[in-house]
Structure 1
């Protein structure tokens, strides 16, 4: 059985790549493999295309409201995804892909992250992407919390802000 590779994991991977962009094609390939993107062997790597896509994806994160977020994400989906197709490319079982076969790695990531983001937002709530509430941080995050009320990119930023608020009250 294959677990759906679209959704939370690609969204988390998009955040990781946006926060710490790959420094080289080899770095991108290694990080893709570590994230479970298994079909990267022999794919052409256009690092500039990946970086451009991540900038477009951050536009989804920074959308001012749900309608704008949906419009921006729909544009990414239109440019990235194809009709769903069954594949057994790795010989380990049939599963769905939302992209044409033989795409360069940037195209694979564009489809994986766009469809994953759409499923994440549709399934968990359109508000489940954001920027850290700490003004000097502003890193993007994907809210995968149970409550759907995440405001910080990490526990470190949440703790730092809590200490700041506490000190402001005490003084």
Structure 2
């Protein structure tokens, strides 16, 4: 049973593709499949280009300075990506919802999946649950899935590195 196929994994796919941009169409398809997306077509160079363009726009949602600006930017992406919700059992793994038209390209699927996943993430967990790593010299984005909603770093390595930097600054 699928409770929400557009949940955390969808926004995390966007984060992963932004932080480590795929270099080839094959890599894009492989990484989408590894993230749990049913990829039943070949990814193309056009998919790679369109996905990069979408992610550049999606980062604008991450970098928005207010909740209203974040919602406005995401609404633009959703309007370009989604269709009416529909039931599907396309992979014979159970009925679930899709927010995209059938037969679209991988880039179109990514646009719809990450867009709707981001909307569900923000409305379900809080509008501030996307951000950039607070560590010096790190530009990575993150989707805050922590229990407290206070994530500031993209991962443990940056958190630890920043803690050491702060400790050394106090010791001087």
For Structure 1 versus Structure 2, the TM-score category normalised by the shorter chain is over 0.9
2:111 equivalent in structure 1: 110
Task: Give the whole-Å Cα distance in 2 for the aligned partners of 1:75 and 1:44.
Answer: 25
Q: Is 1:10 matched with 2:5?
A: no
1:163 equivalent in structure 2: 164
CA contact (8 A) 1:7 1:118 kept: no
- Which residues of 2 match residues 51-66 of structure 1 at below 5 A? 51-66=52-67
Task: Give the whole-Å Cα distance in 2 for the aligned partners of 1:108 and 1:163.
Answer: 41
CA contact (8 A) 1:60 1:69 kept: yes
Residues 128-169 of structure 1 deviation map (CA, whole Å, 9 limit, x = unaligned): 000011131021010000000000111111111111111111
1:80 equivalent in structure 2: 81
Task: Give the whole-Å Cα distance in 2 for the aligned partners of 1:149 and 1:109.
Answer: 27
The alpha-carbon deviation at position 44 of structure 1 amounts to 5.1
- Which residues of 2 match residues 1-171 of structure 1 at below 5 A? 1-38=1-38, 40-43=39-42, 45=44, 46-171=47-172
Task: Give the whole-Å Cα distance in 2 for the aligned partners of 1:162 and 1:97.
Answer: 42
Task: Give the whole-Å Cα distance in 2 for the aligned partners of 1:101 and 1:84.
Answer: 11
Q: CA RMSD in A?
A: 1.0
Describe the shift of the 1:44–1:154 C-alpha distance in structure 2 as closer, same or farther (beyond 3 A).
Answer: closer
CA contact (8 A) 2:88 2:95 kept: yes
Task: Give the whole-Å Cα distance in 1 for the aligned partners of 2:49 and 2:41.
Answer: 18
CA contact (8 A) 2:2 2:96 kept: yes
Question: Which ranges of structure 2 fall in alignment gaps of 5 or more residues?
Answer: none
Task: Give the whole-Å Cα distance in 1 for the aligned partners of 2:50 and 2:75.
Answer: 19
SS at match of 2:69: helix
> Deviation above 4 Å: which 4+ runs of structure 1?
none
SS at match of 1:117: helix
- Equivalent residue pairs, number: 170
- Bigger mean CA deviation after superposition, 86-95 or 9-18: 86-95
- Give the TM-score taking structure 1 as reference length: 0.96
- Give the TM-score taking structure 2 as reference length: 0.96
Residues 60-114 of structure 1 deviation map (CA, whole Å, 9 limit, x = unaligned): 0001111100000000000001111001111222110000000000000000000
